[in-house]
Structure 1
Amino acid sequence: MTAPNGNGKTTSKDTSWIDAELADSFDEELEMEIDDGRMPEELRKLKDVTHESTLERQTYFHELFRLQAELVKLQDWVQHTKQKVVVLFEGRDAAGKGGVIKRITQRLNPRICRVVALPAPTEREKSQWYFQRYVSHLPAGGEIVLFDRSWYNRAGVERVMGFATPDQVEEFFHDVPEFERMLARSGIKLVKYWFSITDQEQQYRFLVRIHDPIKQWKLSPMDLQSRARWEQYTKVKEEMFERTNIAEAPWFIVEGNDKKRARLNCIHHLLQQFPYTEVPHEPITLPERVFNPNYERKVLPTNLYVPEIY
């Protein structure tokens, strides 16, 4: 039995509360997927642009929700065992780092799993030890920190754009392996991901950002420079891998041309990095509401309520 709602869609009169909750959880992800799939009219005119995942939507959703359930188990294990976890997300601009970070954190407790995306350093921070502003964001026991770009800015954008001198870059390459070994000795599990996309795919994603007002905020002057300096970024990336791929913190490359596959592959791989197990929980019993027959709920002024436009 279905009936149209206010948006012209159909809803079931017999839908249970549990079904409605599950549908709402599904819609949250679906909304993001629809946003990813929006194509500005200007791009529809480009005959040579094809952009479609080879992964069926039903398969993608099924696997995403399954992996997100495992991430919740990982979160509980990290909290229970007081693990300290750091995950770095690096890669080409528009390679999909933000998308996978959203899916990792979507079902997790933000008090346990948090995202760090630092702006350009201030003048004061420029005078500090290079790693200092990152150290303050490292996790305590029972926490997961996801760095949306990290100290590897020095090996990439700072080097290519001339924001760091050759001596500073060389000092970074000398220091970063020992810095990461120090993190490992302190009990931090460090996982490093590089998201890789092709030249053509990056061009398409930049065009989306240029022509879509909702996504223009994602496009920075540095992004535009990265297009012009594609080969320079390739060279410094290769040297970065060569000099910073250490046993204590190896690099893992995620092929990012297919966003859906990249998200699933990255989350699956991340889960494999930990010997997590399901943490037993004490049964939770919802207490009965205390009812006071003498209590009368006050009638609040109507101007306190948000207008019900929808």
Structure 2
Amino acid sequence: MGQRAERGLRPWQVELLKLQAHLEAENLRMIVLFEGRDAAGKGGAIRRVTRFMNEKHYRVVALGRPTEEQRSQWYLQRYVAQFPAGGEIVLFDRSWYNRAMVERVFGFCSAKEYRDFLLGVTGFEKDLVRQGTVLLKLYYSVTREVQAARFERRRTDPLRQWKLSEIDLQAQDRWDDFTTHKYEMLKRTGTRAAPWLIVRSNDKERARLNTMKVILNAVDYKGRDRELDFTPDPEIVVPGIEEIALMEAERRNSGKFTG
């Protein structure tokens, strides 16, 4: 991302500091989930969102594979242990929705564990929101071609090779499986209390700016700069229910999902 584009984010990064101060003053809790395929731009968006934030009042959580002990626990237990205290924002770089996509596609959970998750997660989230936590669920969406190009850059750039994992190498071959599970996840876990928002992230710069706007719109904080445009770009941010409709239309027209 060029310096000019980085500077262009500054006004909204200032607003994010105001949001943090408001959460602290009001003792509010906020959780933002960053989901999506590998190389969809989740990590880059998180870095821009948090770049100037007060480190005392936010955490980025990216959990690895569960231990054997954790596998014996209630599935959501290790995520709940990372939840925010009053005045804090927690940003999950992948979340409990691992079970709905990555774990199921790669066989890391059973069919029953997958079904149980889909049945239970909506009630869990409704209760979380009812008790005052601000919850945002963002799904970063890239095309197959853009994902392939980003993987190739990771493969050939020594500064990015560490990002390329064994699962990344299989992601393109399993594209259709991921798409099917994306559809099921959006359809079965989006609710009025905790809806999904799709962030089109082929263009990283626009995705990052619009991510900030979505987060800033989630809370009516004090001192908002009325001169700034807080309206998300409808070409970049799409409600989950609209994405479901687009995917269903695509399946009717071509016989399969592609995005």
SS in 2 for 1:111: helix
1:115-126 equivalence runs, <5 A:
115-126=60-71
Say if 1:190 and 1:249, in contact at 8 Å, map to a contact too. yes
Say if 1:77 and 1:278, in contact at 8 Å, map to a contact too. no
User: How far is 1:183 from its partner?
Assistant: 0.9
Alignment partner for residue 166 of structure 1, among 99, 111, 117?
A: 111
1:241-256 equivalence runs, <5 A:
241-256=186-201
Inter-partner Cα distance in structure 2 for 1:178 and 1:222: 30
Say if 2:134 and 2:218, in contact at 8 Å, map to a contact too. no
What's 1:227 paired with? 172
What's 2:240 paired with? none
Cα root mean square deviation, aligned? 1.2
Alignment partner for residue 186 of structure 1, among 131, 139, 146?
A: 131
1:24-173 equivalence runs, <5 A:
33=1, 58=4, 60-173=5-118
Inter-partner Cα distance in structure 1 for 2:95 and 2:170: 19
Amino acid at match of 2:27: K
Amino acid at match of 2:158: P
User: How far is 1:278 from its partner?
Assistant: 2.7
1:282-293 equivalence runs, <5 A:
none
What's 1:30 paired with? none
What's 1:7 paired with? none
SS in 2 for 1:190: strand
Say if 1:94 and 1:206, in contact at 8 Å, map to a contact too. yes
SS in 2 for 1:275: coil
Inter-partner Cα distance in structure 1 for 2:115 and 2:207: 32
User: How far is 1:223 from its partner?
Assistant: 1.2
Amino acid at match of 1:174: L
Q: Deviations over 1:28-61 (max 9, x none)?
A: xxxxx36xxxxxxxxxxxxxxxxxxxxxx64x34
User: How far is 1:163 from its partner?
Assistant: 0.9
Q: Which range moved further: 71-80 or 221-230?
A: 221-230
Inter-partner Cα distance in structure 2 for 1:256 and 1:83: 29
Identical columns (%): 50
What's 1:275 paired with? 220
Inter-partner Cα distance in structure 1 for 2:183 and 2:212: 24
Alignment partner for residue 152 of structure 2, among 187, 190, 207?
A: 207
Inter-partner Cα distance in structure 2 for 1:121 and 1:240: 21
Amino acid at match of 1:142: G
User: How far is 1:214 from its partner?
Assistant: 1.1
SS in 2 for 1:66: helix
SS in 2 for 1:201: helix
Higher helix share: 2
Amino acid at match of 1:71: L
SS in 1 for 2:134: strand
Q: Which has the larger radius of gyration?
A: 1
Amino acid at match of 1:226: A
Say if 1:115 and 1:145, in contact at 8 Å, map to a contact too. yes
Q: TM-score, with normalisation over the residues of structure 2?
A: 0.84
The runs of 5 or more residues in structure 1 that have no matched partner are 1-32, 35-56, 280-310
User: How far is 1:233 from its partner?
Assistant: 0.1
Say if 1:160 and 1:233, in contact at 8 Å, map to a contact too. yes
User: How far is 1:62 from its partner?
Assistant: 4.4
Q: Deviations over 1:232-283 (max 9, x none)?
A: 000000010000001111000000001101100111121111111139xxxx
Structure 1's 173 and 141: CA in aligned 2 closer, same or farther, altered over 3 A?
A: same
Tell me the number of residue pairs that the alignment of Structure 1 and Structure 2 aligns: 224
User: How far is 1:224 from its partner?
Assistant: 1.4
Inter-partner Cα distance in structure 2 for 1:249 and 1:232: 24
Inter-partner Cα distance in structure 1 for 2:13 and 2:104: 36
SS in 1 for 2:75: coil
